[in-house]
Amino acid sequence: MIIAADSQALSEGLQALRAQNTTVGLVPTMGNLHQGHLSLIQQASNATDIVVVSIFINPMQFAAHEDLDTYPRTLEADLSALRNVGADIVFTPSSSDIYPHGSNNETAIHVPLLGDALCGKDRPGHFDGVCTVVYKLFQLVKPDVAIFGEKDLQQLLIIKKMTRDLKLPVDVQSGATKRAQDGLALSSRNQYLSENERALAPLLWQTLQHSAEILAASPANDARPILIAARKTLEQAGFSVDYLDLRAISTLSAAHDATQDCALFAAARLGQTRLIDNIQILDT
């Protein structure tokens, strides 16, 4: 496994491995890897000959009041896990390598509409930072395939649109959300939860599942009463709900019923930890 600490080392490693005209897969991460990340890496390994995993805590996607400084950093454990899963190159650049002029002084990529809804509304500029760093990684790695998890469904849809709009020659694929046994979506931020909060956290997924079942059973019915009831369930249990919305998958515009391909999107806080999750409701 090649550990490339800067873009020059990445280029040299890729050149050596590409000598036999092999295909390249990319899995971008911010480290603190869990089974969800590893499943994406395995998916990339099944789809391509060379797998590049990036570990970069991207300052451009964090607001001033967010957890950039305290975000979990576990590089040695991550490298050990990546050796076991068979990654070929691990790219671990510094911020100055990705943003030579500083992340506040570089051109940013904005995806309108999709990037302005849901988490984009609650975290202004977040998806500009995501798109910018992903674009830079695409330019540096030049992957044939890139894998992103469905747990961050809004992010996945935004990256797909950016790739289409900018005509980037990358096949953006999705990986299924990995969950703990009690249903909580795996996330690096789950470790922020206290013992009591962790015990309560699976209610977010349970509430989404229950609401999706009701919507799917009567897709033409008005979704608003179901969303109101779901929000009330979470708030009464102790969640602070940022949003719980039914949105069309293609545009992320508000959906009033489930007669089209849509998804329930939720973001809610337990203490200081912000949890996000979603469940798709596909029109069959």
Average pLDDT along the chain: 96
- Give the pLDDT confidence score for residue 65 in this predicted structure: 85
Closest among 140, 143, 66, 128 to 97, alpha carbons compared: 140
User: What percentage of the chain carries pLDDT values higher than 70?
Assistant: 99
pLDDT at 208 over 70: yes
pLDDT at 19 over 90: no
Active-site entry in 37, 65, 101, 210: 37
Read off the pLDDT band of 163 (50, 70, 90): very high
Compute the distance between CA of residue 91 and CA of residue 150 in angstroms, rounded to an integer. Answer: 23
pLDDT at 277 over 90: yes
Fold of 188-281: Pantoate--beta-alanine Ligase; Chain: A,domain 2 (3.30.1300)
Is-same-fold flag (2-175; 188-281)? no
The 10 Å Cβ neighbour count of residue 87 is: 25
Average pLDDT over residues 257-273: 96
Q: Rg of the chain over CA atoms, in angstroms?
A: 19
pLDDT tens across 164-191, in order? 999 999 999 999 999 999 999 999 999 9
- Give the pLDDT confidence score for residue 284 in this predicted structure: 57
Does residue 37 have an active-site annotation?
yes
Average pLDDT over residues 262-270: 98
- Give the pLDDT confidence score for residue 21 in this predicted structure: 73
Strands 262-270 and 273-281, sheet pairing = antiparallel
Contact residues for 186 (Cβ-Cβ < 8 A; gap 6+): 34, 35, 36, 151, 177, 178, 179, 180
- Give the pLDDT confidence score for residue 272 in this predicted structure: 92
Q: Which two tokens stand for residue 266?
A: 């939720």
- Give the pLDDT confidence score for residue 20 in this predicted structure: 77
Q: Where are the domains of the chain?
A: 2-175, 188-281
pLDDT at 64 over 90: no
Domain 2-175 has CATH 3.40.50.620: yes
pLDDT at 144 over 80: yes
